[in-house]
């Protein structure tokens, strides 16, 4: 499947791309368009104004993805807290890693293209997932 979002990726779009590849569509192809009207047919848009997979009722797009695709893995929701705070900084969650994530992603976006950023985000979020998985209390762990 093809997926489209805005260029100039930051934390929310990078995290969504990782989520799509890892949990929704392993063969996902990404393209970048400036406006929702430029999204080609047969392509799913995300993190753009006026599309379904975007910000809704205070959620960032990553959280919207988790809800729409019913991904109820608590580790994904723990990652969502960091993504939400790095993106929106509204203190809905206590996620001290957000400031660091924001800085790392912002820095990467200065030296890499959007396509490269999305590739780099894969090991980054894989690692974050594994970190939270190992840090999670035993009863929340999945094998």
Counting contacts by CB under 8 A, is residue 89 touching another protein?
Answer: yes
Residue 55 dihedral angles phi and psi, to the nearest 5°: -70, 135
Number of chain residues interacting with another protein (CB under 8 A): 13
For the chain, the distance separating the N- and C-terminal CA atoms, rounded to the nearest angstrom, is: 29
Counting contacts by CB under 8 A, is residue 91 touching another protein?
Answer: yes
Counting contacts by CB under 8 A, is residue 64 touching another protein?
Answer: no
Q: Which residues contact 139 (CB under 8 A, 6 or more apart)?
A: none
Q: Which residues contact 7 (CB under 8 A, 6 or more apart)?
A: 32, 33, 34, 114
Stretch that binds another protein, among 22-30, 86-94, 111-119, 133-141 (CB under 8 A): 86-94
Give the 3-state secondary structure of residue 3: strand
Counting contacts by CB under 8 A, is residue 68 touching another protein?
Answer: no
Stretch that binds another protein, among 18-26, 67-75, 89-97, 120-128 (CB under 8 A): 89-97
Q: Which of 27, 41, 57, 70 is close enough to bind another protein by CB under 8 A?
A: 57
Q: How many CB atoms lie within 10 A of CB 17?
A: 25
Q: What are the residues binding another protein (CB under 8 A)? A: 8, 49-50, 54-58, 88-91, 99
């Amino acid at each position: 499947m093809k997926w489209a979002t805005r260029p100039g990726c930051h934390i929310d779009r990078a995290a969504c791309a990782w989520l799509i590849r890892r949990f929704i569509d392993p063969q996902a192809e990404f393209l970048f368009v400036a406006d929702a009207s430029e999204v080609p047919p047969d392509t799913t848009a995300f993190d753009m104004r006026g599309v379904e997979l975007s910000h809704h009722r205070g959620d960032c797009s990553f959280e919207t993805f988790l809800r729409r695709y019913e991904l109820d893995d608590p580790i994904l929701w723990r990652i969502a807290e960091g993504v939400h705070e790095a993106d929106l900084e509204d203190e809905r969650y206590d996620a001290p890693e957000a400031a660091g994530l924001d800085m790392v992603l912002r820095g990467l976006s200065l030296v890499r293209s959007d396509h490269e950023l999305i590739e780099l985000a894969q090991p980054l979020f894989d690692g974050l997932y594994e970190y939270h998985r190992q840090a999670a209390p035993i009863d929340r762990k999945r094998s």
